[in-house]
């Protein structure tokens, strides 16, 4: 028999350490224990139903009850629950999945390397970059540029590219060699009277100045999410990537597209790189690769990088890195089935069909006094909360306006996420219907007006 619920909560408080959680508050508040899911909904241990407006952590594209994925896992478990890809070994799921990923990649790629998380894919990308430039006889060319408020995971190296203070302060990050340029958020960082195109030109110019200051011979790669997600959902301004790519090309700097959130239909194309005209040399992906059902990520690399890695492995005797669970056959089988379902059900087509309605309902919320900007693309949405709508002035961090709104939404049966800068992130499963989109935004509209009242009373 299960222990009484309160006991389970006490045990969670006593034993589980929760990431991205205020540990002291958790001791008083306890966990929200999710016990089951169906379609776009999940239920907690008291039987309350929630519309999962963040698809878990931007990953559960096919919803919480896709039987075909469970079946694919069961079949692979029965056939071969584990094997690896070290030292020339392979498995059928690895072969089929790498072929499929290379076929659908957003730019010509030649090899896929499998890992278990977005963070590991970023970490591997860094190692590949250094190995690549050493192989080219450019041992000084090692710095990697990311953008402030970019999110690229939490390994020591990848966490150095995640340029968000909360995630670096007192962790002794960033490491040297990791440098940061401007975030691409026009609403918050554009100057008065500056057009989006002019903003993009200024950012490209700043990037060029940074490369010149550091020394082009020391800068190896630039990594960017097509849409900046966890740092506050910022969409690139018009002409941004075109101008950034021109600077990178000029100084022989690799372009890395971090597609961990945007990959697999989220923005209305298979890849965010296609939505925004990015021409990557390497691509990281994870999350929707398996609809979040099992941990898996991939790093895809283009010919020019692969050729150097091959020479390096000849020189050293082998390509000297790998993960025990990289290319786990069960994760690969589930990812392969996920990609099959995307194709068979035309999931990208579905996103294109419902996204205009999603974006229309999102934009309507922009008229609230609390919302400085409503922005989004495909099935990504964000509301940036402000204290003063006309100046864009933000609430003090102590007000916790974003957290207040997400708590109100939760009480109404809707899960959304408060991100840095009081930005509410919305990113439902890709299978969401028009009626469920209405349910999501109706709940959110109520939660916003309750939060407005709450903040007004507190002022
Ligand atoms: C763009 C991006 N890169 C990397 C990561 C890290 O992925 P993981 O949490 O699987 O390590 C995330 C996670 O949200 C992400 O959004």
**The domain spanning residue 312 has which CATH number?**
3.40.640.10
Nearest to 226 by CA among 278, 179, 264, 159: 278
Q: What is the pLDDT of residues 345-363, one digit of tens each?
A: 999 999 999 999 999 999 9
**405 and 449 assigned to the same domain:** yes
Is residue 269 in some structural domain? yes
Rounded Cα distance, 151 and 278, in Å:
18
Nearest to 283 by CA among 292, 296, 271, 291: 271
**56 and 136 assigned to the same domain:** no
Indicate the residue among 344, 379, 412 that finishes a domain. 344
- The confidence score (pLDDT) of residue 23 equals 96
Q: Which two tokens stand for residue 77?
A: 């478990």
Is residue 247 in some structural domain? yes
**336 and 441 assigned to the same domain:** no
Indicate the residue among 344, 376, 392 that finishes a domain. 344
**61 and 81 assigned to the same domain:** no
- The confidence score (pLDDT) of residue 71 equals 98
Rounded Cα distance, 291 and 429, in Å:
9
The radius of gyration computed from the CA coordinates of the chain, to the nearest angstrom, equals 22
Longest distance between any two alpha carbons in the chain, whole Å: 69
The residue whose CA is least distant from atom 1 of ligand 1 is 260
The CATH number covering residue 403 comes to 3.90.1150.10
Is residue 201 in some structural domain? yes
Q: Which two tokens stand for residue 283?
A: 């691509």
Is residue 170 in some structural domain? yes
Q: What is the mean pLDDT of residues 117-128?
A: 98
Of ligand 1's listed atoms, the one at least distance from the Cα of 259 is: 1
Please report the sign of the dihedral spanned by the C-alpha atoms of residue 299, residue 53, residue 377, residue 423.
negative
**298 and 368 assigned to the same domain:** no
- The confidence score (pLDDT) of residue 50 equals 98
Residue position matching structure tokens 């999603």 = 358
For residue 4, give the DSSP letter.
P
Q: What is the pLDDT of residues 11-45, one digit of tens each?
A: 999 999 999 999 999 999 999 999 999 999 999 99
Q: What is the mean pLDDT of residues 171-182?
A: 96
Of ligand 1's listed atoms, the one at least distance from the Cα of 158 is: 4
**Using an 8 Å Cβ cutoff, are 293 and 334 in contact?**
yes
**438 and 309 assigned to the same domain:** no
Report how far ligand 1's centroid is from the alpha carbon of 390 (Å): 34
Q: What is the pLDDT of residues 366-388, one digit of tens each?
A: 999 999 999 999 999 999 999 99
**144 and 293 assigned to the same domain:** yes
Residue 109 has pLDDT above 60, yes or no: yes
**263 and 362 assigned to the same domain:** no
Report how far ligand 1's centroid is from the alpha carbon of 260 (Å): 6
C-beta 261 within 6 A of ligand 1: yes
Is residue 107 in some structural domain? yes
- The confidence score (pLDDT) of residue 459 equals 80
Q: What is the mean pLDDT of residues 81-102?
A: 98
pTM: 0.97
**302 and 386 assigned to the same domain:** no
Strand partners, 384: 373, 423
C-beta 228 within 6 A of ligand 1: no
The residue whose CA is least distant from atom 3 of ligand 1 is 152
- The confidence score (pLDDT) of residue 3 equals 52
**73 and 196 assigned to the same domain:** yes
- The confidence score (pLDDT) of residue 164 equals 94
**Using an 8 Å Cβ cutoff, are 419 and 151 in contact?**
no
Indicate the residue among 319, 344, 369 that finishes a domain. 344
Residue 4 has pLDDT above 60, yes or no: no
- The confidence score (pLDDT) of residue 252 equals 98
For the chain, the domain total comes to 2
**328 and 373 assigned to the same domain:** no
Report how far ligand 1's centroid is from the alpha carbon of 268 (Å): 20
Is residue 15 in some structural domain? no
- Name the average pLDDT for the chain: 97
Q: What is the pLDDT of residues 225-279, one digit of tens each?
A: 999 999 999 999 999 999 999 999 999 999 999 999 999 999 999 999 999 999 9
Of ligand 1's listed atoms, the one at least distance from the Cα of 295 is: 10
Domain span including residue 205: 69-344
Is residue 25 in some structural domain? no
Question: How would residue 5 be classed by pLDDT, with cut points 50, 70 and 90?
Answer: low
Question: How would residue 2 be classed by pLDDT, with cut points 50, 70 and 90?
Answer: low
**249 and 277 assigned to the same domain:** yes
Rounded Cα distance, 438 and 384, in Å:
20
Is residue 58 in some structural domain? yes
C-beta 122 within 6 A of ligand 1: yes
Residue position matching structure tokens 């916003």 = 448
């Amino acid at each position: 028999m299960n222990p009484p619920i309160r006991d389970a909560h006490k045990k969670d408080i006593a034993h589980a350490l929760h990431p991205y959680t205020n540990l002291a508050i958790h001791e008083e508040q306890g966990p929200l224990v999710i016990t089951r899911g169906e379609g776009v909904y999940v239920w907690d241990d008291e039987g309350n139903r929630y519309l999962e407006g963040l698809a878990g952590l931007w990953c559960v594209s096919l919803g919480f009850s896709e039987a075909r994925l469970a079946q694919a896992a069961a079949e692979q478990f029965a056939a071969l629950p584990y094997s690896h890809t070290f030292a020339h070994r392979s498995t059928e799921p690895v072969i089929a999945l790498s072929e499929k990923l290379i076929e659908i990649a957003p730019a010509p790629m030649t090899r896929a390397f499998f890992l278990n998380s977005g963070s590991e894919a970023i970490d591997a990308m860094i190692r590949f970059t250094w190995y690549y430039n050493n192989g080219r006889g450019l041992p000084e060319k090692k710095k990697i540029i990311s953008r402030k408020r970019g999110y690229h995971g939490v390994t020591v190296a990848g966490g150095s590219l995640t340029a968000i203070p909360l995630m670096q302060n007192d962790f002794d990050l960033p490491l040297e060699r990791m440098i940061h340029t401007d975030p691409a958020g026009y609403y918050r960082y554009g100057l008065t009277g500056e057009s989006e195109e002019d903003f993009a030109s200024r950012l490209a110019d700043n990037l060029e100045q940074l490369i010149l200051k550091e020394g082009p011979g020391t800068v190896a790669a630039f990594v960017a999410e097509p849409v900046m997600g966890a740092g506050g959902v910022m969409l690139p301004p018009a002409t941004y990537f075109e101008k950034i790519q021109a600077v990178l090309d000029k100084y022989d700097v690799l372009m890395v597209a971090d597609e961990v959130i945007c990959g697999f239909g989220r923005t209305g194309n298979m890849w965010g790189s296609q939505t925004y005209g990015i021409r990557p040399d390497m691509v990281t992906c994870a999350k929707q690769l398996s609809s979040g059902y099992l941990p898996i990520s991939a790093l895809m690399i283009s010919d020019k990088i692969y050729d150097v890695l091959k020479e390096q492995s000849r020189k050293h005797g082998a390509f000297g890195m790998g993960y025990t669970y990289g290319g786990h056959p069960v994760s690969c089988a589930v990812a392969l089935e996920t990609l099959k379902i995307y194709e068979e059900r035309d999931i990208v087509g579905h996103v294109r069909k419902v996204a205009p309605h999603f974006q229309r309902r999102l934009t309507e919320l922009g008229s609230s006094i609390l919302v400085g900007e409503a922005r989004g693309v495909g099935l990504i949405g964000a509301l940036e909360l402000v204290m003063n709508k006309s100046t864009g002035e933000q609430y003090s961090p102590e007000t916790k306006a974003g957290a207040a709104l997400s708590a109100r939404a939760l009480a109404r049966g809707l899960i959304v996420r408060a991100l840095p800068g009081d930005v509410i992130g919305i990113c439902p499963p890709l299978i969401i219907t028009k009626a469920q989109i209405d349910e999501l935004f109706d709940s959110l509209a109520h939660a916003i007006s309750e939060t407005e009242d709450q903040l007004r009373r507190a002022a």
